[in-house]
Amino acid sequence: MGLLAALLLSGCTELEGTGDKGYITGDGQVREVAPEDRGDPVDLSGEGLDGEPLDLADLRGGVTVVNVWYSTCPPCRAEQPELTSAAERVEGTADFVGINIREYDTAMGLAFNRTFDVPYPSFYSPTGEAMLAFTGTLAPNSIPSTVVLDAEGRVAASVIGPLPSEQTLVTLIEDVAAETQRPDRGQDGGQDGGQDGGQDGGTTRG
């Protein structure tokens, strides 16, 4: 946890477009994972900014969207209206939850939520330890990032960096939600890139 905290505070990175800012600039890279190539369900529980308990396991059975952010991150602030709008558009189809990092006082994150009318809770993880639950998908410097979990709680898609658009996220959510109505999707390979024998079966798009 000490190394993770050091990386978060220093903004140390190898990601193009991050530099020494400590966050990713430019449009994020979208990656989708075919159902048959997904890993284990993501286990994460903790306390929210409001002090209430949060557990991703409670959200299984439907799509869950997880966004990593902190209040003074410029791209986090820029994309929040799109996240808020997307959450409202897919209400009843997907649940949203944030992971608030780098804030050593919950007041900063709560003020952010009020400013942007954020309608969903966030885990409070000042050291970024909560990101360890997404090892293999997120790096300590993957800020902002958004992950879409399927009904089993597995990583189905991710956007590393700022959202390219609100519609990009809504489309990812709708595609993952449709899997529960198309049980054969896991047999036919889903997205094209899941059949090429790659190491992780993921597909990316610009």
Domain ranges across the chain: 2-10+26-205
Query: Where do the DSSP E strands lie in the chain?
Result: 29-33, 45-47, 53-55, 63-69, 94-101, 122-125, 145-149, 155-160, 202-205
Q: Which residue has the higher pLDDT, 189 or 91?
A: 91
Q: Look at residue 33 in the predicted model and tell me its pLDDT.
A: 96
Residue 140, pLDDT above cutoff 90: no
Q: Look at residue 4 in the predicted model and tell me its pLDDT.
A: 42
- Give 38-57 pLDDT, tens digit per residue: 999 999 999 999 999 999 99
Average pLDDT score over residue span 165-182: 91
The CATH fold of domain 2-10+26-205? Glutaredoxin (3.40.30)
One-letter amino acid at 121 equals: P
The reported pTM is 0.80
Residue 14, pLDDT above cutoff 70: no
Tell me how far CA of residue 160 lies from CA of 47, 172, 174, 185, 196, in angstroms.
24, 14, 19, 25, 22
